């Protein structure tokens, strides 16, 4: 059976990192952007990281510029922004594409394990869907991720168990992470 541990990604310096290094941990894998309306998600993400990292939790941050060019800059510039503005300490990897022919294989895998199921109800969510659909039109069947700050929860065995769209309440994400960590406490 394939798991996230079968994938190798690049760190901010371009070095290969096998996700098997995170074996046995609960992971939250997120595609991020520094100039997005959801960028404030960094704050509750960092709070969750500080609360749970000693219990076997890691957040893996992958900046992505495929959504309205909302992650401009180099890896170092993005990292400096995140650490200075939000105090982030969780691992941040190299900028990736999450859609199309150039999609990082990890994100194609994550999205096929937990496909998009909508942004939820409400006017804001409907507006985001319209904007995301326009943005992702060129990716067709390879529009795996619909917007920045899509989060995938991975259990300690490397299996993708949940997907949270950027519109999901961060309290819901926190509850799911806490519940998963309690399973093997």
Which residues carry out catalysis?
A: 36
Which segments of the chain does DSSP mark as H helices, in order? 42-52, 75-86, 105-113, 123-136, 170-182
Q: Residue written as tokens 């259990």?
A: 155
- Rounded Cα distance between 99 and 176, Å, is 26
Place of tokens 């990890």: 106
Cα-Cα-Cα-Cα dihedral sign, residues 59, 24, 174, 111: positive
Q: What order of strands is seen across the sheet that includes strand 151-154?
A: 57-63, 26-32, 151-154, 160-164
d(CA 184, CA 64): 32
**Of the candidates 27, 28, 8, 107, the residue with the CA atom closest to the CA atom of residue 66:** 107
Say how many residues make up the chain.
185
């Amino acid at each position: 059976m394939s798991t996230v541990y079968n994938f190798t990604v690049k760190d901010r310096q371009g070095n290969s990192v096998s996700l098997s290094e995170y074996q046995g941990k609960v992971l939250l894998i997120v595609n991020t952007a520094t100039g997005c309306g959801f960028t404030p998600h960094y704050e509750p993400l960092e709070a969750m990281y500080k609360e749970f990292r000693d219990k076997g939790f890691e957040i893996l941050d992958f900046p992505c510029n495929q959504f309205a060019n909302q992650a401009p800059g180099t890896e170092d510039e993005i990292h400096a922004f995140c650490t200075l503005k939000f105090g982030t300490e969780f691992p941040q990897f190299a900028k990736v594409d999450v859609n199309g022919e150039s999609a990082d294989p990890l994100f194609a895998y994550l999205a096929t394990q937990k496909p998009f199921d909508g942004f939820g109800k409400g006017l804001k969510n409907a507006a985001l869907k319209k904007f995301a659909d326009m943005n992702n039109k060129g990716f067709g069947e390879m529009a795996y991720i619909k917007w920045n700050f899509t989060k995938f929860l991975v259990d300690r065995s490397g299996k993708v168990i949940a997907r949270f769209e950027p519109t999901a309440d961060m309290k819901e994400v926190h509850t799911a992470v806490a519940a998963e960590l309690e399973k093997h406490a």
